[in-house]
Amino acid sequence: MLTDHPGTIVVAAITLVMLLAWLISSASGDTVAQAVGVRRFSRHRPPREHFRPEGAQKPEAPKRVAAIIVNPTKFDNIEAVREQVTQGCLAAGWDKPLWIETTAQDPGTGQARQAVKDGATLICPLGGDGTVRAVAAALVGTETPLGLLPRGTGNLLARNLHLPVDSLDHALKVALTGQNKRVDVGRLTVDHSGEHEHPEEYIFLIMAGVGFDAAIMADAPERLKKTVGPLAYTISGAKNLRGPQFKVRIKFDDEPELTRRTRTVVIGNCGRLTGGLVLMPRAQVDDGWLDAVILSPVGVVGWVAVAGRIISQKKKGHERVDHHRMRSVTIRCDRPEAVQVDGDLIGQARALSATVDPLALVVRVG
């Protein structure tokens, strides 16, 4: 019997313990096995670098690529500008940029869409506010950032974002190395006939206007802007001071419709103009609101009063300068009036409406 052979029981017990220790060590390491004196003979896998050929380097991550959507009419020596931008990208550790020129048929929207498909991680319009707006139209609602390289007359979006406007090198550095900021986008519907026949839709990042504001843009041709810069708008404004008023019916959000006789209505996503003037003091590019100002001067003397009001940045208490904040607005004119969007004249219309698309665009800032 087993009770007559205690040695047999001890041997069996030791054998069982050693077998369990070996099984446990095979599954979860050597700790238990080593505790009972069992050695594990498995080999550890060498590190991945052991298999790399001698002298071989780890593969580098692909460099980021910026697409430069350029308006060629803004430059006399475009090849020199291209070289300047290319060197700036390489110096910042980016790959050689995609260089894409706008055309009369496509001022930047189609080029921007294609650049994103081609792998660009940053889209930089190089031109004026019109080029910026066209390029931004392809990026609204996406995560691809817009990097501003101002080269226009006003460069108002860059000014409202406090970005460099006088140095291409500085602007490029911000675009390549800056932070992302979300900004609002205005959406404008223009009904040229006033009968809801074939309305056109636009985005705007700065301001859209009807009346005197748009007439200024119409009388400031590219040749004049290229010669005298922002002074072209002053010259054009002086030519249009004596124009007639027109009648508008305006509805802000759910408020009752109001009627005015006016010279211009401006809808703004931001409020700063050139020369440090602020047309809409409360307007912020990322506040989720649109602002509007109705200017109703009578004669040259009336314009002097309006100018004083704008310079003082007062928002209330003047019958000729009427400020409003809203998320939507509808305007109907008693006759066709010129309409501009971010400085681009888009023809005449009798009705237009605007809404805000909050934080719909990513822009690179300092």
Q: Is the pLDDT of residue 35 over 70?
A: no
Buried b (16+ CB within 10 A) or exposed e, 76-97: eebeebbeebbebbeeeebbeb
Structure tokens at 82: 């291209």
Residues of the chain with CATH 3.40.50.10330: 66-177
Instruction: Say how many C-beta atoms besides its own lie within 10 A of residue 107's C-beta.
Output: 20
- Tens of pLDDT, residue by residue over 53-69, are 555 565 667 889 999 99
Supply the pLDDT for residue 240.
Answer: 85
Q: Is the pLDDT of residue 201 over 90?
A: yes
Q: Percent of the chain, pLDDT > 90? A: 65
CATH class of 186-359: mainly beta
Taking all residues of the chain, what is their mean pLDDT, rounded to a whole number?
86
Is residue 102 within 8 A of residue 111, CB to CB? The reply is: yes
What value does the mean pLDDT take over residues 239-267?
94
- Tens of pLDDT, residue by residue over 87-142, are 999 999 999 999 999 999 999 999 999 999 999 999 999 999 999 999 999 999 99
- Tens of pLDDT, residue by residue over 306-361, are 888 788 776 554 568 999 999 999 999 999 999 999 999 999 999 999 999 999 99
Is residue 210 within 8 A of residue 264, CB to CB? The reply is: yes
pTM of the model: 0.81
Q: What is the CATH number of domain 66-177?
A: 3.40.50.10330
Q: Is the pLDDT of residue 302 over 50?
A: yes
Supply the pLDDT for residue 187.
Answer: 98
pLDDT band for position 47 (50/70/90)? Answer: low
Residues of the chain with CATH 2.60.200.40: 186-359
Q: How many residues does the chain have?
A: 366
pLDDT band for position 197 (50/70/90)? Answer: confident
